[in-house]
């Protein structure tokens, strides 16, 4: 009997890896004194890249680091309130950490934003840590203090918001950041100039072109800022 129960329990464990057991299944297992916890599926969250308010531009940025520390770079995409590409960029930063790459990517993006003459920007990136630092103006890593001060000076005198963007809809900036980590530094001022991979498939829908809704597993704690 013991071996029979063991076989049934093993079979049930394999089934719940790919499917859900019915109410009857659980009742039978309970009758055999083999209670099983029900398979809990993670809730999904619908996320999407959305256009900015009229008169504002949206700056999506990301940093990339191979190895942490290791070769790092940054990338960003600026789009107007119609969702049209204004500019894109990827920058090589050399050897550094992931947080350094994220912070320097914001600086590089804001520098280009100001160079283009804009005054209102909605800054989005997928590092909840960085969003927390900048919204509270409290950088917790001493060797990044100078970068934080530089960014705050760049942001003075302009209207801006800083908020978290799920990585599923920050893929364009992510791809450009990885190009920067690979040693590429480039500005893209027209849609025809951007890398082919960025133009096609999921990247164009969540990057340089129109936004698309994407379902993702919802984290236990939602980390968003302002």
Average pLDDT, the chain: 79
Does the structure show a pLDDT above 70 at 66? yes
| DSSP string across the chain | -HHHHHHHHHHHHHHTTTSPPPHHHHHHHHHTT---PPP-PPPEEEEE--PPPTT-EEEEEEEEESSSSEEEEEEEEEE-TTS-EEEEEEEEEEEE-HHHHHHHHHHHHHHHHHHTT--EEEEEES-HHHHHHHHHT----GGGHHHHHHHHHHHTTSEEEEEE--GGG-HHHHHHHHHHHTT--EEE-SGGGS-HHHHSHHHHHHTTS---EEEEEPPSS-----
**Confidence band (pLDDT; 50, 70, 90) for 44?**
confident
Q: What is the mean pLDDT of residues 144-161?
A: 94
Does the structure show a pLDDT above 50 at 111? yes
Domain boundaries, the chain: 2-41, 47-213
Which CATH superfamily is 47-213 part of?
Answer: Ribonuclease H-like superfamily/Ribonuclease H (3.30.420.10)
């Amino acid at each position: 009997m013991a071996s029979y129960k063991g076989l049934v329990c093993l079979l049930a464990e394999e089934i719940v890896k790919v499917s859900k057991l019915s109410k009857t299944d659980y009742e039978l297992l309970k009758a055999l004194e083999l209670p099983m916890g029900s398979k809990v599926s993670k809730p999904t969250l619908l996320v999407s890249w959305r256009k900015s308010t009229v008169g504002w531009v949206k700056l999506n940025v990301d940093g990339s680091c191979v190895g942490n520390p290791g070769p790092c770079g940054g990338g960003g995409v600026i789009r107007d309130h119609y969702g049209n590409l204004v500019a894109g960029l990827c920058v090589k930063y050399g050897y550094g950490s992931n947080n350094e790459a994220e912070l320097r990517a914001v600086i590089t993006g804001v520098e280009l934003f100001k160079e283009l003459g804009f005054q209102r920007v909605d800054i989005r990136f997928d590092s909840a840590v960085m969003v927390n630092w900048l919204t509270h103006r409290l950088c917790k890593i001493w060797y990044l203090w100078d970068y934080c001060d530089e960014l705050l000076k760049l942001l003075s005198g302009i209207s801006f918001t800083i908020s978290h963007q799920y990585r599923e809809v920050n893929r364009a900036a992510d791809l450009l950041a990885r190009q920067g980590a690979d040693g590429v530094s480039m500005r893209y001022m027209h849609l025809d100039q951007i890398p082919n991979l960025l133009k096609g498939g999921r990247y164009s829908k969540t990057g340089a072109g129109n936004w698309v809704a994407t379902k993702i597993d919802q984290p236990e704690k939602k980390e968003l800022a302002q």
